[in-house]
């Protein structure tokens, strides 16, 4: 049995959704668009601004695409994951602090020793590691009281949106609003047996639901069970 595949250039699939909002809800003053990680690309951000306005931001989670983990990129750093997380040789995730605009780079700090990094984690209600000495400090940053400060060039983390970084508290706050609607979509997919349905387009979805409902009614009649 062949699978249903509806692959499409992401900006092309995003455009009708945005136009639908503009047409049906012209009174809305839209400032932010929350979208799935597949839409995390510059062409999609450009499409949002083209249709909704230059100041409208696209909030989309990290999409690794063809990125791979980078092993041992610098002293004291064990890995940069394909999703943009920085892990030190002591086993901790480094914390995004800010951006260096002169070098076009992201700045990360060590959460065990760096007070700013610890406050960032607290502010985002994330787990804060216990403060103390680091057994790997002599291998990493022997002369620094706050531990390793690591700068990564912007182009190395091209999967991260430079203008609206997925590392930031603001991004996490806005993107978390997707949680409720995602749970609702999940229940709908489960109810109508659409977890493995990937073909896009309203007519395709309606056709799938109608076939499913017809099947349910046939089964109900055969078994003598009604009210389904």
DSSP run (H or E) holding 73: strand 70-74
- Render pLDDT for 171-213 as a digit per residue (tens, 0 to 9): 988 888 776 677 777 777 677 666 666 556 667 777 767 777 7
Rounded Cα–Cα distance for residues 79 and 81 (Å): 6
pLDDT at 5: 45
Q: Taking residues 42-71, report their average pLDDT.
A: 92
pLDDT at 224: 66
Does 65 have pLDDT greater than 90? Answer: no
Q: Pinpoint the alpha helices (H) of 25-67.
A: 42-52
Whether the full predicted model's pTM is greater than 0.85, yes or no, is no
Q: How confident is the model at residue 220 (pLDDT cuts 50, 70, 90)?
A: confident
**40: three-class secondary structure by DSSP:** coil
pLDDT at 219: 73
**Residue ranges of domains in the chain:** 1-60, 70-163, 177-228
Does 1 have pLDDT greater than 50? Answer: no
Q: How confident is the model at residue 228 (pLDDT cuts 50, 70, 90)?
A: very low
Q: How confident is the model at residue 3 (pLDDT cuts 50, 70, 90)?
A: very low
CB count, 10 Å around CB of 132?
8
DSSP state for residue 93 in the 8-state scheme: B
């Amino acid at each position: 049995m062949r699978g249903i595949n509806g692959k499409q250039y992401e900006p092309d699939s995003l455009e009708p959704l945005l136009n639908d909002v503009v047409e049906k809800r012209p009174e809305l003053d839209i400032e932010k668009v929350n979208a799935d990680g597949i839409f995390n690309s510059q062409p999609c951000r450009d499409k949002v601004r083209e249709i909704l306005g230059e100041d409208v931001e696209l909030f989309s989670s990290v999409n690794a695409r063809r990125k791979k983990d980078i092993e041992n990129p610098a002293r004291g750093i064990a890995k940069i994951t394909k999703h943009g997380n920085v892990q030190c040789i002591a086993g901790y995730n480094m914390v995004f602090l800010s951006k260096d605009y002169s070098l076009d780079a992201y700045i990360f700090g060590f959460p065990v020793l760096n007070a700013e990094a610890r406050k960032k984690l607290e502010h985002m209600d994330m787990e804060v590691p216990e403060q103390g000495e680091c057994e790997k400090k002599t291998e990493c940053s022997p002369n620094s009281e706050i531990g390793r400060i690591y700068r990564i060039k912007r182009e190395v983390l091209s999967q991260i949106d430079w203008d609206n970084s997925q590392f930031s508290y603001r991004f996490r706050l806005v993107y978390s609003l997707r949680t409720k609607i995602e749970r609702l979509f999940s229940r709908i997919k489960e109810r109508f047996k659409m977890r493995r349905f990937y073909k896009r387009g309203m007519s395709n979805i309606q056709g799938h639901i109608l076939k499913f409902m017809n099947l349910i009614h046939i089964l109900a009649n055969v078994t003598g069970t009604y009210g389904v």
